[in-house]
Amino acid sequence: MCHRLVIILAMMINAMAVAAPAVGGLLVAGDAKNLWVVRVNPHGEFITLHRSPEAPDDTVYRVLKATGHPQAIAAYDNTLYCIYSDLSVQALRFTQAGSYLPTLRAQQLAPLDAAGKLIGFVAGREGPIAMLHRPETNGGSAHLQDTDAPNSPDEKDPAIKPADPDSPLAMYRLRLGRWESMPVPKDLTPDHFMQLVMISPKQSRLAILSETQPPSGLIVHTFDGKEWSRDRYLLKLSPLSQGVGVQNDLAIVAPLAGAESRQFNLFYLRQGSVAPRGTIKPITPGQPWFATAYNNRITVVLSDDDNPLRWAQYAIDDATRQSEPSELTEAAPSMAPDPMTLVFIVAIVIGMLFLFATARREPGASVPHLPPDVRTVGPGRAIAALIDLAPAVIIAMIVFKLRNPADVFSNWPGTTTEWKKVLPAALAITIYVTHTSVCELLFAASLGKAIMGLRVVNLFGEPPHIWQVLTRNLFKAVELIAPLLLVLPLLSEHHQRLGDLVARTLVVGRIRHFLDED
């Protein structure tokens, strides 16, 4: 009875782990896979909204409600970075990306221990990058004015020194858990229009947008990872204009002055020339608004006074298509399981019904009767299972031309709803179940068990029947999809998996006796 309770508990815990939903001013950030919206209310709380390309049209999910006031956000590779008024930094990461039931994990990162007022925040492959304005610079020392950051109003000597002590600007990036200084353009001075833009997140290619004094042109400083270059464009922008990096290009989204309904001009900046790409058609008026790159499209998100979110997407291709402006519906993540989770739950229920049905019909049938020199094994069978799984993973890597085993395990069934991504893992599981079944039918031991000196027997220590071998191995697929069930051999009295309990089998090894003979 104890091992049955353990099975039920493991099943419930695993179901919760698979299906648990993750639970203003306006801040918006996007990358190739995710769109993030943060609403900040006057009560010191913020709500984080998220959508992915797999989500239903015009739906954004509420994934987190927390206390605080983020000053800026940036996104890269399923991670949202938030920086707060005291320059503390938090990362929100999806551990089940691409699912309607994402698991969100919050992690506090190293705070930016530097003096200055935040004026830019982006993220790329190497992590987040922050740009600060140091209003007073005198002989290499700087302090912050007009800010509510608690770690800096009187801080004359910040822990992180800027790369150029005489510059009114300082840039820092978080690498390997530590903030480090970055070079800044020497001919750049803060003015009424300055923005930090991530052009290419994978290459950490940056741009700083600023205007000449008096405003008569746009200056773009571009950082290629080693040094800054400078280009000038004959383009006059309002302070409300926003730069967006999309598909390794730099775009400008500029609101039309005096328009009764919200419209935006779109420009591409390429090699010193301005390429107009048209006008994003009227969107329902509202403030504030943000432009970002999401799903390789320029996306404009705004919030009305009544608080509904509206958005429009502009796809830059040969047709320069624009989606119709539409309202985003806020929703909690669906509690309905995805198809893979449903398959897992159905398989578990069938196994449990079969187990209890046989136990009630034959109460003593689950009690082992082994010879005295035979014992059941626990940790040894785990090593044998890894040996059996290795060739299956290698074959899947060869078939799908993968270079790293992590590429197979990162898209394991239950972690994504995209069937194509699951194919390598599904092939590995199929090969694993097939070759262990064949070996146990012929030799009562798989390759790994033979190497470890183990074999499969029924409850009387005899070779298992065909139905027992097939049953115990089919349940291996269920246990690999629901890995919490793999702890059963450590908890059950006779080190049995769920498949062993249903098939009434054991994995045993022989006890060696060393006797001194007279």
The string of pLDDT tens digits covering residues 45-88 is: 788 888 877 777 677 888 877 888 889 999 998 899 999 988 99
298 and 421 part of one domain:
no
The answer to whether residue 462 is domain-embedded is: yes
Residues 362 and 301 in one domain: no
Q: Are residues 251 and 122 located together in one domain of the fold?
A: yes
Q: Would you place residue 19 in the very low, low, confident or very high pLDDT band (cuts 50, 70, 90)?
A: very low
Name the least confident of 287-291, 381-385, 401-405, 469-473. Answer: 287-291
Strand partners, 182: 171
pLDDT tens readout for residues 242-288 = 889 888 889 888 877 655 556 778 888 877 788 887 777 655 555 56
Mean pLDDT confidence for 397-422 = 81
Question: Which value, in Å, is the radius of gyration of the alpha carbons in the chain?
Answer: 30
Residue 494 — φ and ψ, nearest 5°?
-110, 25
What is the number of alpha carbons within 13 Å of residue 176 lying toward its C-beta? 1
- Residues 257 and 279 reside in one and the same domain: yes
Cα(457)–Cα(508) distance, integer angstroms? 7
Answer yes or no: is 518 within a domain.
Answer: no
pLDDT in tens, 491-500: 888 888 888 8
The per-residue pLDDT for range 95-118, each reduced to its tens digit, is 554 444 456 778 899 998 888 889
Report the pLDDT value the prediction gives residue 145, as an integer from 0 to 100. 32
What residues contact residue 188 under an 8 Å CB cut-off, 6+ apart?
Answer: 167, 169, 208, 210, 219, 221
Helix (H/G/I), strand (E/B), else coil: 52: coil
**Three-state SS for 74?**
strand
C-alpha span between 264 and 282 (Å, rounded): 8
Point out the domain boundary residue: 331, 349, 371: 331
97 φ, ψ (degrees, to nearest 5)? -65, 150
Out of 331, 355, 389, a domain closes at 331
Residues 371 and 352 in one domain: yes
Number of H helices and E strands in the chain, helices first, is: 9, 29
**Residue that finishes a domain, picked among 284, 307, 331:** 331
What pLDDT does 261 receive?
52
| Residues listed for the chain | 518
More confident residue, 140 or 450: 450
The count of domains in the chain is: 2
Q: Could you list the residue range(s) of the whole structural domain that residue 420 is in?
A: 2-10+338-510
Task: Tell me: do 364 and 266 sit in the same domain.
Answer: no
210 lies in some domain: yes
> How far apart (Å, rounded) are the C-alpha atoms in residues 342 and 4?
22
**What tokens does 107 get?**
């992690």
Check: CB of residue 89 under 8 Å from CB of residue 74: no
**For residue 427, is pLDDT > 90?**
yes
Same domain for 406 and 302? Answer: no
Is residue 154 pLDDT above 60, yes or no? Answer: no
- Please determine, for residue 146, whether its predicted confidence score (pLDDT) is greater than 50: no
- Give the CATH number for residue 166: 2.120.10.70
Q: Would the pLDDT of 7 be above 50?
A: no
The pLDDT-based confidence of 466 (bands split at 50, 70, 90) is very high
Beta-strand relationship, 141-143 and 136-138: antiparallel
Structure tokens at 266: 């779109």
More reliable by pLDDT, 486 or 385: 385
Do 146 and 66 fall within a single domain?
yes
Residue 140 has pLDDT above 90, yes or no: no
* The residue type at 425: A
